[in-house]
Amino acid sequence: MNFIHASDFHLGYAQYGLLERFKDYARAFHSVISYAIDHKAEFILISGDLFDKHNINAPTYEQAYKVLSELKAKSSSTQVYAIEGNHDRAFHQDGKSWLEILNSQGLLRLIRLKEAKGVKLMGDFVELDNFRIFGVKYLGSNTVSVIPQIAEEIKKISTERGEKYTILMMHFGMEGQVKQEAGGEIPYNSLLPLKDAVNYLALGHYHTKYELDDWVFNPGSVEMMSLNEYDMRKGFYHVRDNGAKLISPLTRPVRRIRLDMSDILTPDELYSKVNAKIEREPNVQSDKAPLIELMLYGEMNFPKSDVNLERIRDMLIEQFKPLWSEVRLQRTNSPYAIKEGDVRGLTREQIELRVFSDRIKLDGRYRDNVETIVNTMIEVKKKAAAGIEESDIQTDLRWCFEKIRSQHSDNIDKCEKTPAIQQTLLSRMGD
């Protein structure tokens, strides 16, 4: 046994609007593929979110094409098997995702849900000498309801074809694995029907590593997607006969520095304390310029307007020569302050999901449609930010309203008169 399990590369993400960060995610992908070549892996699993968004640009596709072509040239026997994550899915009007294009070019094998003889979902799988590999794309809130069917169909196939080491790739968040509850999480007990059918459940979606009962494995993203992931383990798994080992490649260094302001009485004292704090920080041992965040927290004893944040940022630049730096003020006496622990481990998208969900839940009329509405809000926000034509955005909104209508056919007026939803969606386009 010798295979690689990775997920959530998010190619195309230009974190903080930086070209170098755009390149970092490609470097992380390349590091995993290079590792697989060097260690003669039999195959590579990608459990969703190879790409960061549905409508990738040409440079992003080129990154994927070059890395996968290198694998094909150097190790033609090492195949890549992938599923679609929530970021990989095609827009409704496109019909095809970019993973399907890579599949058609022979650069990876995309495993899809497919009806076949005797099964409704699991008809598309990979049959190897010693392995049988299944895959389920991101299904959102539908995931829990289909898990028993997935388990039964895999058992049926194993009975008909003979037992093999069985791998199932899925893309969802496991309940209890991040600090704050997020939409669409799956409780562990809901997975138990799979335990008798699957030897290795290869997950993706959450960007930090977790393992459960030696059969559920989530490697996290290789690169940091959010500073809320600071100091959390992540990487990819190298799975051999003796088990799964997490490999964490060297990536761009990140430093998060915290300073309590509660006992500081003047801005000048603050500057002095900041300077002393950063001078005590160990040097960054890397040839890559780091990402630096300084968080000033606690009660402020003077007006925020008296603080020269640029002066503090210049101190960071002088000390660390960073690629990117930020100074954050978190006043705990503010009623709007968000505690770090509340969002630690969550990506920006997960935080948005939480905020949007809470807002929709305030109106009891739409509680049954929270996921549909929130997913549309996030998609509309992304499209608006990307400058997508208004007509395409309106199509998404109409699709959302029609889906709600179909789910509540006994109360059509509820969907025909949805000014609150429309107003919420449209107002978010400008955020």
Question: Where do the structural domains in the chain lie, given as residue ranges?
Answer: 2-247, 254-340, 348-429
Identity of residue 12: G
Q: How many whole angstroms separate alpha carbon 181 and alpha carbon 343? A: 10
Class (C level, CATH) for 2-247: alpha beta
**Cα–Cα separations (whole angstroms), residue 427 to 9, 183, 349, 367:** 31, 22, 18, 20
Question: How are beta strands 109-110 and 79-82 bridged, if at all?
Answer: parallel
Q: What is the DSSP letter of 324?
A: E
Q: Listing from the earlier edge strand, what are the strands of the sheet with 109-110? A: 109-110, 79-82, 43-46, 2-6, 236-240, 243-247
Helix (H, G, I), strand (E, B) or coil at 44: strand
Q: How many whole angstroms separate alpha carbon 107 and alpha carbon 111? A: 13
Contacts of 305 (CB under 8 A, 6+ apart): none
* Residue indicated by tokens 């889906």: 403
**What DSSP letter does each residue of 330-396 carry, written as one string?**
E-TTSTT---HHHHTT--HHHHHHHHHHHHHHTSGGGGGGHHHHHHHHHHHHHHHHTT--HHHHHHH
Could you list the pLDDT tens digit for every one of the 431 residues in the chain? 999 999 999 999 999 999 999 999 999 999 999 999 999 999 999 999 999 998 899 999 999 999 999 999 999 999 999 999 999 987 655 678 999 999 999 999 999 999 998 999 999 999 999 999 999 999 998 999 999 999 999 999 999 999 999 999 999 999 988 866 666 789 999 999 999 999 999 999 999 999 999 999 999 999 999 988 898 999 999 999 999 999 999 999 999 999 999 999 999 999 999 999 999 999 888 999 999 999 999 999 999 999 999 999 999 999 999 999 999 998 765 444 455 555 555 555 667 677 777 777 666 666 677 777 877 777 777 666 555 667 667 776 777 777 676 665 544 444 444 455 555 555 544 44
